[in-house]
Amino acid sequence: MDNIPPNPAGPLVVALVYDGLCTFEFAITAEIFGLARPELGPGWYRFAAAAIEPGPLRAQGGLRLTVDGGLDLLEQADLIIAPGWKGAGVPVPPFLIDRLRAAHDRGARLASICSGAFVLAATGLLDGKRLATHWRYADAMAQAYPAVRLDADVLYVQEGRLFTSAGSAAGIDLMLHIIRSDFGHDAANSVARRLVVPAHRSGGQAQFVPRPVPRQPQSRLSPLLDRIRADPQQVWTVADMAQAAAMSERTFLRRFQEATGHTPGDWLALVRVELAKTLLETTSLPVEEVARLAGFGAPPTLRHHFSRATGLSPRDYRDRFGAGASP
């Protein structure tokens, strides 16, 4: 039988490998599920790679791979991951579709990263259900699989035992979501810290995440932006900002848009949302106090801007990502 790491108690995660492999997407799965993590106790995941065709196989970056495992691994897998796919227009082999459907029928979970959603869509298991993929594949997905409910605006989607995610980095968010579901909040945070990535991006968050960071870091506006970040509770009108930047309001608005990609009001709201997220994650302060400290004043204003930026209410965000969140 194929080589499987010894640890009969842990769920077996199998990543598909194919000619033309998306190297980064595969590496995500190997890094997250394939490393030993004794600090998290017994029962951690086992990881194996399954080649779907004879090798050696090419991978992006000028690599050639020889893979130990084959399709027989899918019969034992608890979680099967499609780390990207060869291309939006490349058919998924019928034998692979049959294997994936059989695995799902016996209770295995199926997941995809980026264009790997085409593999899961080909099984028909997502017909009538939500599916996430990278925004650049949205049109091709909608045309090839009109029966799925495509959502190309979010980072990842879970439909029962089916998981799909957007671009490569969103695959990390999805894998952390799976760890959180399997082993709890603390385990997901531990893995995220080792990866040096945030553990708190929710699936409903937009793929295009606006960040209050200037496009031109050395802009004349940089001192003003730093000043606002340091004291977001202060009342900042456009007139106040323009005066602080020593510009006319008309010039200031043009320069601000060029530097940040946002209007002053939208940018300020994002700065305050980031502060509110930190307060919700690290303190048990009432939402009313979080709204005040973050500069929103009242909870309704906080809720409006917070949900617009993250797709979650402040209370839901704390429940999921706060220090006292349950698994």
Asked if residue 284 is part of any domain, the answer here is yes
Check residue 214 and give its pLDDT: 45
Q: Is 162 part of any domain?
A: yes
Could you read off the pLDDT tens digit of each residue along the chain, which spans 327 residues? 455 555 567 899 999 999 999 999 999 999 999 988 888 888 899 999 999 998 789 988 999 988 989 999 999 999 999 999 998 889 999 999 999 999 999 999 999 999 999 999 999 999 999 999 988 898 999 999 999 998 877 788 889 999 999 888 888 989 988 998 888 878 888 888 888 776 555 544 444 444 444 444 445 788 888 888 888 888 889 999 999 989 999 999 988 888 777 889 988 998 899 889 888 888 889 999 999 999 999 999 999 999 888 778 898 888 877 655 444
pLDDT of residue 310: 79
> Which domain range does residue 231 map to?
222-321
SS3 annotation, the chain: CCCCCCCCCCCEEEEEECCCECHHHHHHHHHHHHCCCHHHCCCCCEEEEEECCCCCEEECCCEEECCCECHHHHHCCCEEEEECCCCCCCCCCHHHHHHHHHHHHCCCEEEEEHHHHHHHHHCCCCCCCEECCCHHHHHHHHHHCCCCEECCCECEEEECCEEEECCHHHHHHHHHHHHHHHHCHHHHHHHHHHHCCCCCCCCCCECCCCCCCCCCCCCCCHHHHHHHHHCCCCCCCHHHHHHHCCCCHHHHHHHHHHHHCCCHHHHHHHHHHHHHHHHHHHCCCCHHHHHHHCCCCCHHHHHHHHHHHHCCCHHHHHHHHCCCCCC
User: Does 188 share its domain with 42?
Assistant: yes
Q: What is the CATH number of the domain that holds 126?
A: 3.40.50.880
For residues 67 and 26, membership in a common domain is answered with yes
**Which of residues 180, 195, 210 is at a domain's end?**
195
Number of domains in the chain: 2
The answer on 185 and 140 residing in a single domain is yes
255 and 134 belong to one structural domain: no
pLDDT of residue 198: 63
> Do residues 191 and 229 share a domain?
no
**Residue 214 lies inside a defined structural domain of this protein:** no
Question: Are 295 and 150 found together in one domain?
Answer: no
Q: Do 147 and 270 fall into the same domain?
A: no
What would the pLDDT profile of 208-220 be if each residue is shown by its tens digit? 444 444 444 445 7
The CATH code of the domain that includes 314 is 1.10.10.60
Q: Out of 151, 180, 195, pick the residue that ends a domain.
A: 195
Same domain, 148 and 111: yes
